[in-house]
Amino acid sequence: MWKNRNVWIILTGELVAGLGIWFGIIGNLEFLQQHVPSDFLKSLILFIGLLAGVLVGPLAGKVCDRYSKKIVLLYSSFFRMISVTFMLLALHFSSIGWMLVFMVTFQIAAAFYFPALQATIPLIVEEKELLAMNGIHMNVSTISRIAGTALGGMFLTVVSLRSLYIASFIAYVILFGVTFFLHIPNKQTSERNQRANMPFKAMVPLLKKYPLVQIALLLTIIPMLFLGGFNLIVMSISDLQHDPAVKGLLYTTEGMAFMIGAFVVKRMAIGQRKSLYVFSLLITVSQGSLYFSEIKLAALASFALFGFSVGCFFPITATIFQTNIPKEYHGRFFSLKNMLDRVLFQIVLLGTGFFLDVIGLEMMVVLFSSLSLLLIVYFFMRETNESVSSQRHDSTF
């Protein structure tokens, strides 16, 4: 795998693009803090961008399946560069309107880029290397997140906000450049071309044919209950412990544990189906253990367990999706998944803010972990019952 030039291009692009994204996120938060006093309006501006990405999701999925993945990656990377110019205009005119244009165009570009990227990975590596590749890819993404937030925060203390967005623009220029060297094998057949032209809504009956994919999609709700309100939870723990410095420790602990999980998951000798439930249960335990987050070591241990668990969980689910769903449907499937993730993320974010205000962190994590446990039990029992019914049906012939 390491001799594959495409692998190095994908990983380099992920690292550079990740830095650009997190420079932009740091800049966005700083700009909003300077110009928008209302927290609700801040969340509304961020929501509008995400909503735009959801609305173009069906079109993005069809485009990714119908056209060359490399072409989609190049165009979406180019439009990311264009979007940053709108943010430079927002800075020049101190305009929230131009920022909204930036948010919408950036999220639309992302709605095309990420499904195309996920659909590209199984085309450039062998199936037996997919789990390792997904783990490494997510590790690089985590490294770029840690480095991007650290460097972005540091740059703001020594350079202007405009310089931070210029650095983000340069990152996307580099991404655009390295993508040119990507070589994606074209294995389209007449049958695949026919399937690629099927409507986006064809994904719903298709998913019924792949029970493991359905379970993996549904169990993704469990880590999202933590990830959706991740920043709010970190800030709440910091307030609870009266220690601003603990935020950095929590982020670092989770990030390091994630990388360890993504590194060791390929060495674990357990089946995909069983591992989904095992790591979902560990994520649930990590959620519930935040009840003791007033204790610093307990909070760090919870974040370490969560990071390790999702570091194993996400490469496994990505591999399940890439190997079970036919390649000619990958663009539409990953676009659908991207849409579901965005919607769920916003719901959990709003719910986390509401519950933190109404019942507090301790009771909220008990509520979320209880919900996660119920989901695990329900899906496991449903799958077991369907398996038993299927066996009984087969025995009658």
* Residue 343 belongs to some domain of the structure: no
Percent of the chain scored above 90 by pLDDT? Answer: 22
What CATH code is carried by the domain that includes residue 12? 1.20.1250.20
At 94, phi and psi to the nearest 5?
50, 50
Same domain membership, residue 6 and residue 145: yes
Q: What is the tens place of the pLDDT at every residue in 216-264?
A: 888 999 999 888 877 778 878 888 888 777 777 887 888 889 888 888 8
Q: Which of 213-222, 320-329, 365-374 comes out lowest in average pLDDT? A: 320-329
What pLDDT does residue 345 have? 80
Q: What is the tens place of the pLDDT at every residue in 111-126?
A: 899 888 888 888 888 8
Q: What is the tens place of the pLDDT at every residue in 160-171?
A: 889 889 999 999
What pLDDT does residue 158 have? 82
Q: What is the pTM of this model?
A: 0.74
Q: What is the tens place of the pLDDT at every residue in 186-202?
A: 655 444 544 555 555 66
Same domain membership, residue 159 and residue 48: yes
Count of all residues that appear for the chain in the document:
397
* Residue 381 belongs to some domain of the structure: yes
Same domain membership, residue 260 and residue 142: no
Same domain membership, residue 369 and residue 243: yes
Mark 232-271 as b/e (b = at least 16 C-beta within 10 Å): bbbebbbebbeeeebeebbbebbbbbbbbbbbebbeeeee
Same domain membership, residue 263 and residue 171: no
C-alpha 322/C-alpha 308 separation (Å) is 22
| Average predicted confidence (pLDDT) for the chain | 82
Same domain membership, residue 291 and residue 262: yes
* Residue 155 belongs to some domain of the structure: yes
* Residue 195 belongs to some domain of the structure: yes
At 11, phi and psi to the nearest 5?
-70, -40
Of the pLDDT bands very low, low, confident and very high (cuts 50, 70, 90), residue 87 is very high
Q: If you average pLDDT over residues 146-157, what whole number do you get? A: 78
Please determine, for residue 8, whether its predicted confidence score (pLDDT) is greater than 80. yes
What pLDDT does residue 388 have? 53
* Residue 335 belongs to some domain of the structure: no
- Using alpha carbons, select from 319, 332, 198 the residue that is nearest to residue 268: 319
Number of domains the chain contains: 2
- Using alpha carbons, select from 210, 178, 164, 153 the residue that is nearest to residue 73: 178
Q: Which of 180-189, 315-324, 329-338 comes out lowest in average pLDDT? A: 180-189
Same domain membership, residue 127 and residue 222: no
Same domain membership, residue 28 and residue 73: yes
What pLDDT does residue 44 have? 75
What pLDDT does residue 270 have? 67
Q: What is the tens place of the pLDDT at every residue in 275-318?
A: 889 999 999 999 999 999 888 999 999 999 999 999 889 888 88
Give the list of residues 6+ apart from residue 367 with CB closer than 8 angstroms, or none. 355, 359
- Here the tokens at position 11 are 């990983």
Q: What is the tens place of the pLDDT at every residue in 26-37?
A: 788 778 778 877
Handedness of CA 152, 156, 160, 162 (dihedral sign): positive
Q: Which of 87-91, 153-157, 248-252 has the highest mean pLDDT?
A: 87-91
What pLDDT does residue 174 have? 92
How many whole angstroms from its chain centre is CA 28? 19
* Residue 344 belongs to some domain of the structure: no
C-alpha 381/C-alpha 393 separation (Å) is 18
Instruction: Return the residue matching tokens 């194993």.
Output: 312
Please determine, for residue 396, whether its predicted confidence score (pLDDT) is greater than 50. no
C-alpha 7/C-alpha 316 separation (Å) is 19
What pLDDT does residue 196 have? 52
- Of the candidates 175, 204, 233, which is a domain's last residue? 204
C-alpha 232/C-alpha 356 separation (Å) is 9
Same domain membership, residue 246 and residue 371: yes
Contact 176, 74 (CB under 8 A): yes
* Residue 347 belongs to some domain of the structure: no
Same domain membership, residue 274 and residue 155: no
Same domain membership, residue 195 and residue 277: no
What pLDDT does residue 186 have? 64
Same domain membership, residue 270 and residue 387: yes
* Residue 320 belongs to some domain of the structure: yes
Residue ranges making up the domain that contains 87: 1-184+191-204
Handedness of CA 65, 71, 73, 75 (dihedral sign): negative
